[in-house]
A and B are shown apart, each in its own frame.
Chain A
């Protein structure tokens, strides 16, 4: 223990842009952090790396973000042997001041003095009837298939949902030579005009976004806004064959496709913050519960810090900054000297990205009203095929209006994805059915293990 007073152990969970910058900052201050990452190679999801025997260059993989991706990759490669790097390792619990890990080597625990959670994000999903048919993927999945495996998710891909990723991934598909059936955005175009006042906070990113939509139009891809998804069509054996939607002018239309990429921006992976007993607060703008944190990333629990998209969806550029900030906050709390001017500078950058993110939330809102209109037969929980009707029956018959209570009765959120893809929509279904504000439904509590564990691995030891 005495050794830990001189050499405190700092654990960084996640090696995306936030985790990499946090680890670099700690190392520069003389602390050798433990960096635990679920992936085989550092980079996170947005700067996800292809396998070592692939040949595409950074420009082909990351486009306008090539230099930033390269800097994050090179930055980590330069420190990988100097930190205690544990790739291919899942953190499945946080309790008693320790992180609990699982890897092919076995189970282990690591005690920490400071814990920096850079857990990243997953797609935010609103169900649509038929989304369980084979060939529906999340938008993020469509991007991973291309970036990490040089594949399209289908021969004719329909992009549906909202948010910046919708346009980014569709344009990446076009550029890579894939056929894109259409881009169907649920957000009305007028929202973007209202969002301009905040989007102007990051003019370069805004210009990149506008260029993406132009590139899609130039490629002849139909791009429609104000669209209401009605159903993904297909069958249980053959999978997806298209989607039926209502257009902004009220007419219905069917788009043929053999794959659908579906998503509504992103949601932070907050299960570990929850297990670390961090306080959460409801964010009315995006209609979700988020862990509280101060401007530098300090959570409500002493010694726990939150950075990157795992704390707030502010994007990869912001994640690099908030990763540095969280590490500096940890260093300050451990009694190390930290330059206040650097803090001021970094905080200002994060505030600018936060303003831009507010603009994105205005431009591409979470379409919560779709939950009330889901037909009873629509599956909400893909894991266990629980329908909107099942969930409404629980609300009406048992009076369960709180997310965890409704989960206990309906099993929505209890399946193998542990509510990642149904949790937000399930809460909206309950709120609409019970006619209460969605914040009163609460949020699904994080449960250990945060992902299913293989049973056949042995204890590795305690540290």
Chain B
């Protein structure tokens, strides 16, 4: 499916910005969270380390930690509480590690 998961209902006149998800450019808007930037065009944020499939976040209030994504240098970001910024390069897979060796 190519359609995004989230549907924008208002506030569409904001300035655009471009970030990169797994190397692909994604157009978002200033004021978007990273999660909205990724899910307005995509369907998922990450893959569960426990074999139960794709995840797209859950609580949107920085409590569940289901929306972790990674910067290309391995930094962990909580997509629901991180503002999208121009030029940000995101990986939906944790670079160079898999649970439980990653801390």
Interface residue ranges, A against B (CB under 8 Å): 38, 45, 50-56, 122-123, 132-138, 140-141, 144-146, 148-155, 176-178, 235-239, 258-259, 269, 379, 382-385, 416-417, 420-421, 451-452, 454-456
A414 CB, min distance to chain B CBs, angstroms = 12
Name the residue among B5, B6, B65 with the largest chain A CB count within 10 angstroms.
B5
Q: Which of B56, B62, B68, B75 contacts A134 (CB 8 A)?
A: B56
Q: Which of B52, B62, B66 contacts A236 (CB 8 A)?
A: B52
Closest 10 A/B residue pairs (Cβ) = A236-B53, A385-B50, A51-B31, A141-B60, A416-B65, A134-B56, A150-B11, A144-B60, A385-B52, A150-B10
Contact of A237 with B54 in the complex, beta carbons under 8 Å: yes
A231 CB, min distance to chain B CBs, angstroms = 14
The answer, yes or no, to whether B48 is at the interface (CB within 8 Å) is yes
Chain B residues near A269 (CB-CB < 8 A): 63
Contact of B65 with A239 in the complex, beta carbons under 8 Å: no
- Give the tally of cross-chain contacts (CB within 8 A): 145
**With A55-B11, A239-B44: A135-B66 Cβ-Cβ less than 8 Å:** no
Interface residue ranges, B against A (CB under 8 Å): 1, 3, 5-15, 30-33, 36, 40, 43-44, 48, 50-66, 68, 75-76, 80, 83, 103
Per the bound structure, the CA–CA distance linking A146 and B36 in Å amounts to 11
A128 CB, min distance to chain B CBs, angstroms = 13
Contact of A134 with B43 in the complex, beta carbons under 8 Å: yes
Per the bound structure, the CA–CA distance linking A134 and B1 in Å amounts to 13
**With A53-B31, A141-B57, A238-B1: A154-B6 Cβ-Cβ less than 8 Å:** yes
**With A149-B33, A421-B58: A383-B65 Cβ-Cβ less than 8 Å:** yes
Q: Which of A56, A178, A417 contacts B65 (CB 8 A)?
A: A417
Per the bound structure, the CA–CA distance linking A455 and B102 in Å amounts to 13
A308 CB, min distance to chain B CBs, angstroms = 15
Contact of B31 with A140 in the complex, beta carbons under 8 Å: no
Q: Interface SS of chain B: helix, strand, loop or mixed?
A: loop
**With A239-B44, A420-B63, A420-B64: A151-B7 Cβ-Cβ less than 8 Å:** yes
Contact of B65 with A134 in the complex, beta carbons under 8 Å: no
Contact of B61 with A140 in the complex, beta carbons under 8 Å: yes
**With A53-B14, A177-B9, A454-B76: A140-B59 Cβ-Cβ less than 8 Å:** yes
Contact of A150 with B8 in the complex, beta carbons under 8 Å: yes
Contact of B5 with A122 in the complex, beta carbons under 8 Å: no
Contact of A258 with B5 in the complex, beta carbons under 8 Å: yes
A170 CB, min distance to chain B CBs, angstroms = 14
A381 CB, min distance to chain B CBs, angstroms = 9
B53 CB, min distance to chain A CBs, angstroms = 3
Per the bound structure, the CA–CA distance linking A50 and B10 in Å amounts to 12
6 new A-B pairs (CB below 8 Å) besides A136-B58, A154-B7? A51-B31, A53-B14, A55-B11, A134-B44, A385-B52, A454-B75
